[in-house]
Chains A and B, each alone.
Chain A
Amino acid sequence: MKVLIIEDDPDLREIMQKFLTKEKYIVETVANYKDALIKTADYAYDCILLDIMLPDGSGLDLLRKLKEWHKSDSVIIISAKDSLDDKITGLDLGADDYLAKPFHLSELSARIRSLMRRNKFKGEMLIEAGNLKLLPDNHDVTVNGKSLELNRKEFDILNYFLSRSGMNVNKSDLAESVWGDHIDMVDNYDFLYAQIKNLRKKLKESGAGIDIKAVYGYGYKLIEE
């Protein structure tokens, strides 16, 4: 799986490269618009991570060029501008997703995975982990072909974990994703514990080959057995 990172900040570029390499992607990086044009014209990538504000041009122009050349590379826009206008323009120009800075690496990974899955299954979303299958659009989970009953929160939590399997999941990130942005008002995430406990119990009872483990002081991690 080939990924191109177009990002002018050397620090962020380095860390994204390190992380994605660790995630078993083949990663290439460029730091400016000119180099990005050359790379994208010559090669095909499974995913392009595109910073909109580049020192010598706009990422949106690059998107236009890609469209002109009929390239089918998937593009995730990464922008410090958390503005709706940019997001809409970017998505209109054929970008597949939009991620605002600052973001979590696990979030980036989840977005890339989701994008890859969508391409692989031609638009139909399906997440597989061992004998468990999850269809996000249908709110449907099956273990060994048998349906698993989950409430909405449990489903959202499982979905969140599955798209970040093998990674440490921070409890506050999980809470914000499942309960909404403003959940940060609580200083204690104990209410999460009850939901996770129920979910683990249901997974175990259904014979799913996955488990959610606690990471001390930090959060949880989904492990395929």
Chain B
Amino acid sequence: MKLVNRVITRLSVVLFIIFTIWATMFYFIIIDEINDETDDALEDYSDHIIQRFLAGEQLPAKDNGTNNTYYIIEVKPEYATVNKQISYSEDMMYLESKNEYEPARVYKAIFRNKDNRYFELTVAIPTIEKADLQLTILWWTVGIYLLLMLAIIIINAWIISGNFKPLYRLLEWLKHYEIDKQIPPLNNPTRTTEFAELNKAILQSADRNNEIYEQQKNFIGNASHELQTPLAVCLNRLEMLTEDESLTDKQMEEIEKVRRTLNQTVKLNKILLLLSKIENGQIPEPEDVNINVLIADLLESYRDVFDYKSIEVSIRETDTLHLNMNRGLASAMFSNLLKNAFIHTTTGGRIEIEIQSDWFVISNTSSVEAPLPADKIFERFYKGNNSEGNSGLGLSLVASIAKLYDYVISYNYLTKKSMHSFSVAVKPSPRKG
């Protein structure tokens, strides 16, 4: 939900409740005031009539052009003592002016003249006019209520969307920000202190992230680099040691085992260096690499090993695959795919290779006859069950190289053939223009 909509919704709910309470209260207070005023008017009128009546002056004409009406009757002293001296009531009254009964506010006053005779004065104002007034007030209240709500919501929406522009510009900028790319310039002028601070904070954070990322990236490269010389020293000392004629066969064997492990370390280190180089973008110019030729060369050099393990390799070339990439990386990528297939194929197994104009697939049988976790196998140091002679970096290197050149690498398990299949596909290049 967008911020503007959220604010407006919340505001509407709150305003609705507050305005409803306000309008109701307003209406009833006004109505109360009107009733009060009406009663006051009745009282004044009655006082005026009673004074005149007691003074024996002429009373106002019954038909005086207003809708007010009055009459005086004499009552018994008992009636006067039983009833209240002054009373208000809503009643039906016969209006002489209108010659009909109508609902009216009625004021009754009992008074006594100097002869100790009791009279009751009844004054009435038809309520029809009051109801009209009340209705008018109700409509206006509702009208103003709606108008106010609408105005407040529209003004708010306008102010929010206007003032939050820097926020949306910042969000747009963040979408384009990538940690391994250069930080794009942030053009987000604002006079709002909070947004200015937010701009600053985000830029600082981006700088810091990039810095940390750089350090991380360089750290692996530097560490592997620094390892080269000590590794060389270890290997060479062992090599010197093997020249010692007095060594026993057993000792020679042990030295060989240490050497083999050291060699693995050297290889691991080399792959790490290469990965770090790829991630740092320190890759020499690409060139046109014919993958069919490359695969043929690789297969030729592996033939003895494949034969030794009685692995049947079949290759199906429907077209020539040309990739525009660094030759060394192409070789690393495809030899690692071949190596991966070889390592996991059991003796007497099968490897199938297919080359088309825009993709390469290599499938192999394996002792594991179930799909592998596709999201994990390209991770660094994932080894699965078979860890012998497996650095856990081969497929990760393949994935890194593929990513560098925007190739799509994917893993599938072919259930029918019980084969694990890896494919490298060239993305259709975006058409120019």
Contact = CB atoms under 8 A, between A and B. Distances in A.
Mutual binders A and B? yes
Interface of A: 9, 11-12, 15-16, 18-19, 22, 80-85, 101-106, 153, 167-168, 170, 172, 179-187, 190-191, 195, 215-219
B252 A217 contact: yes
Contacts of A103: 232, 235-236
B74 interface: no
B228 to A, nearest CB: 4
B266 A102 contact: yes
Interface stretch (B44-52, B302-310, B365-373): B302-310
A58 B385 CA distance: 46
Contacts, number: 117
B346 interface: no
Dominant secondary structure of chain B at its interface with chain A = helix
Given A82-B270, A104-B236, A185-B389, A167 B243 contact: yes
Interface in B231-257: 231-233, 235-237, 239-240, 242-243, 249-250, 252-253, 255-256
A27 to B, nearest CB: 14
20 contacts: A9-B229, A11-B229, A19-B236, A22-B240, A80-B228, A80-B229, A82-B270, A101-B232, A105-B236, A180-B298, A182-B302, A182-B339, A184-B267, A184-B389, A185-B339, A185-B343, A186-B305, A187-B388, A191-B305, A217-B253
Given A186-B308, A191-B304, A102 B252 contact: no
Contact of B240 (A18, A85, A153): A18
Contacts of B263: 172, 184
Contacts of A84: 284, 328
Contacts of A182: 298, 302, 335-336, 338-339
A101 B229 contact: yes
A9 B263 CA distance: 20
Interface string B263-275: 1101100100100
A15 B256 contact: no
Nearest to B284: A84
A187 B389 contact: yes
Interface string B310-353: 00000000000000000010000001101100110000000000
A193 to B, nearest CB: 10
Closest 6 CB pairs of A and B: A217-B253, A102-B232, A216-B249, A80-B228, A191-B308, A180-B301
Contact of A217 (B225, B243, B249): B249
Contacts of B260: 172
A81 B222 CA distance: 11
Contacts of A216: 249, 252-253
B259 interface: yes
A22 B308 CA distance: 38
Contacts of B336: 182
A22 B239 CA distance: 13
Given A84-B284, A218-B253, A12 B305 contact: no
B126 to A, nearest CB: 107
